[in-house]
Chains A and B, each alone.
Chain A
Amino acid sequence: MTESTATSTVEPILEVTGLVKHFPLTQGILFKKHVGAVRAVDGVDFTLAPGETLGIVGESGCGKSTVAKMLVNLERPTAGSIKYKGEDITKLSGRALKAVRRNIQMVFQDPYTSLNPRMTVGDIIGEPYDIHPEVAPKGDRRRRVQELLDVVGLNPEYVNRYPHQFSGGQRQRIGIARGLALRPEIIVADEPVSALDVSVQAQVINLLERLQGEFGLSYVFIAHDLSIVRHISDRVGVMYLGRIVEIGRDAEIYDHPTHPYTQALLSAVPVPDPEAREHRERIILVGDVPSPTNIPSGCRFRTRCWKAREKCEREVPALAVPAEFRHGAGPAAHASACHFAEEKQVVPPEESLDDQAEGAV
């Protein structure tokens, strides 16, 4: 797929800089006094190259879904910019905004609540054409909808059925068909398979990968399941408490993580192999994620970090390639927001599995 150099030479289709979303906390009924803010997203930067999949992982409350909502303009950022082909979409309104939104579509997590139960599947998938009639003339819509059903692997004759007549996996396919209706260039998928059964998850993941090739889509794929994110992503960003703490190509993040949070997260993922039980080192973090209303000073991970020192309390670590790896070209040379970044392998290396992995690359 995308090579490492491609991301730096090809102009990104999406460029996010300093993205911030604070939800104000108010007190009082009539005179709403600001008493603080939930700093849901607190300075996020990333780029997305055409045809690329960027995975964003993080635990609940880290702000990953808020980022998704801002990308499709369901939330207005407090600060920062989202540039789509060089144009800042947070500054747009009216007709110009509508034109851009056509190109960035979303697939939601819950296939049970994201489809209107009183609309037929045909109406759900065809609804985007009401807003953007230039894409499909009125007489052509039914045929287009049936084509889309076929593309996502559903019987085109189901066009008059209602969502409750479908299973979870099939509903997610309907959600994907709706996302594709306007022929977007970017799809933001927020936990698209986490509500599905294991055997159905694989079907939907395969569908998303096939569609990417077929339509040249770029994905922002948000999930908490690290194995699924690795499977589908070219690059991965790890979020913690409103910020990206480490970002790089999938092998850099999974095989050579340098940020302690990424290392803990990876080591905590249960590996479906009972043999790994004994010779696996697990980093068990203490405590819970701090509240986003009261973010720790300096490095926001320091309250749960086993490496935290005085410097972490004073200085906010920047998301950049750490100094000690800057001159090497190895896989550890990727952006990581830690003062004391060091490489650590946490996913168990196993000869047989390594061979298979290399064969697949």
Chain B
Amino acid sequence: MLLEVRDLRVEFRTRDGIAQAVNGVEYAVDAGQTLAVLGESGSGKSVTAQAIMGILDMPPGRITGGEILFKGRDLLKLKEDERRKIRGAEMAMIFQDALSALNPVLTVGDQLGEMFVVHRGMSGKDARAKAVELMDRVRIPAAKERVRDYPHQFSGGMRQRIMIAMALALEPSLIIADEPTTALDVTVQAQVMDLLAELRRELDMGLILITHDLGVVADVADRIAVMYAGRIVESAPVHDIYKAPAHPYTRGLLDSIPRLDQKGQELYAIKGLPPNLMKIPPGCAFHPRCPMARDVCRTDVPPLYEVTPSDGTRVSACHFWRECLDDRVDGHVNG
């Protein structure tokens, strides 16, 4: 396994109390695999990614437990200077908003070249040549001329390509992309996702794609991990989850999206609101919004049950995953 997150726990100390952002997340990615982490805002998907990269703001953040195994080593036990060597060279991150992630007062060539100067000790001239090569690779037209341009001189789609180029610069084995296309228009989103998928194949990298878009997930992911209130509620191969979700939250999400190829009357809506992270409901965190909730859900935190029949690759944090699964197989669609 390239990366394995085990029972990760992160909290934030705020003026109003302690927010439990991540409460025992478990997921794993192999080389050459795309894992989509799906969740709404506040589900802890980005915080988990930041903990893996080692860019969590501490304080107010604090990792209170768990392990992050990267190529067998627990990153949480490393010293900061050891982590810095890994960051950028072996794992890299693509952010949502390229305009604020890039430095506005440096040319893109300088920012791309910096990777080679810092990590590889190259001269400025060689680094610039490398920058042009990278820009070519992510198909920015006229790379040679544009290497001296500043981020604001590029369009949104082109800026996101520069972010991708930067992440790929040192050919890392793991890329974490946090909502990489959310700020882009659909036609540009398609270009960028295609590019990312192609480069991932070429370099045989592991990719963690953080998103809230079920459409994007269906297009590119091998596996999905669905997060709710800082936990994984379901994790499965992509085809299984869309065919028959084994958690009522996943099912609610799938049912609530309007689809181009089916115009229904009323959309299914998950009732209520995502929980306040300062007071997560006892038992299953989803129970106040769940149509299947029973007494046991209000008291017992569901473990990650292994969903059968499958080859042990599928888990669900629902006491009644079997019912949830059957409902969908029978063709029952809510709403």
Q: How far is the CB of B16 from chain A (nearest CB, A)?
A: 13
Q: How far is the CA of A59 from the CA of B259 in the complex (A)?
A: 19
- Check A356 for interface membership: any CB of B closer than 8 A: yes
Are the CB atoms of B256 and A202 closer together than 8 Å? yes
Q: Does A230 contact B186, Cβ atoms closer than 8 Å?
A: no
Does the CB pair B157–A198 fall under 8 Å? Answer: no
Task: Check A288–B157 contact: CB distance below 8 A.
Answer: yes
Partner of A198, one of B158, B257, B263: B257
Chain A residues near B194 (CB-CB < 8 A): 284
| Residue with the greatest number of chain B CB neighbours at <10 A, chosen from A198, A285, A289, A356 | A198
Report, as a range, how many residues of chain B touch the other chain: 35 or more
- From B90-98, B108-116, B215-223, B318-326, give the one contacting chain A: B215-223
A250 to B196, CA, bound (A): 33
Using a Cβ cutoff of 8 Å, how many contacts connect chains A and B?
140
What A residues does B242 contact at CB under 8 A? 272-275
Q: Is B26 among interface residues, defined by CB-CB distance under 8 A?
A: no
Does any Cβ of B come within 8 Å of A201's Cβ?
yes
CB-defined contacts of A273 to chain B, threshold 8 Å? 218, 242
- Residues of chain B with a CB closer than 8 A to A136's CB: none
Q: Which of A242-259 contact B (CB under 8 A)?
A: 250, 254
Q: Are B262 and A356 in contact (CB under 8 A)?
A: yes
Given the known interface contacts A284-B194, A348-B261, A357-B262, the answer about A272 and B254 at a Cβ–Cβ threshold of 8 Å is yes
**Shortest distance from the beta carbon of B41 to any chain A beta carbon, whole Å:** 6
With a cutoff of 8 Å between Cβ atoms, the chain B residues found around residue A202 in the complex are 256-258, 267-270
Q: Is the CB of B263 within 8 A of A270?
A: no
Q: Mark A332-361, 1 if CB is under 8 A from B, else 0.
A: 000000000000000111100110110011
Evaluate contact between A274 and B239: CB separation under 8 angstroms. Answer: yes
Q: Would you give the 0/1 interface string for B6-39, flagging 1 where the beta carbon is closer than 8 Å to chain A?
A: 0000000000000000000000000000000000
> A-facing mask of B255-286, CB < 8 A → 1, else 0?
01111111111111111011000000000000
A332 to B64, CA, bound (A): 61
* Smallest beta-carbon distance B106→chain A, Å: 23
Contact B256 A201 (CB under 8 A): yes
Cα distance A230–B212 in the bound complex, in angstroms? 20
Considering the complex, which residues of chain B in the window 153-168 have a beta carbon less than 8 Å from any beta carbon of chain A? 155-158
Interface flag for A323 (CB, 8 Å): no
Note all chain B residues with C-beta closer than 8 A to A206. Answer: 266-267, 269
B199 CB → nearest A CB, Å: 15
User: A272 near B267 (CB under 8 angstroms)?
Assistant: no
Q: Is B190 an interface residue (CB 8 A)?
A: yes
**CA of A268 to CA of B187, assembled, Å:** 6
Enumerate chain B residues within 8 angstroms of A200, measured Cβ to Cβ: 273
Closest 5 CB pairs of A and B: A270-B215, A231-B258, A59-B185, A202-B269, A202-B256
Told that A198-B212, A202-B270, A284-B190 touch, could you supply 16 new A-B pairs with CB distance under 8 A? Answer: A167-B274, A197-B212, A198-B253, A199-B270, A201-B256, A203-B270, A205-B258, A272-B257, A272-B259, A273-B242, A274-B221, A275-B239, A284-B194, A347-B261, A348-B261, A360-B264
Residues of B within 8 A of A (CB): 40-41, 155-158, 185-191, 193-194, 212-219, 221, 238-239, 242, 252-254, 256-271, 273-274
6 contacts between A and B (CB under 8 A): A197-B274, A203-B269, A203-B270, A268-B187, A270-B213, A354-B261
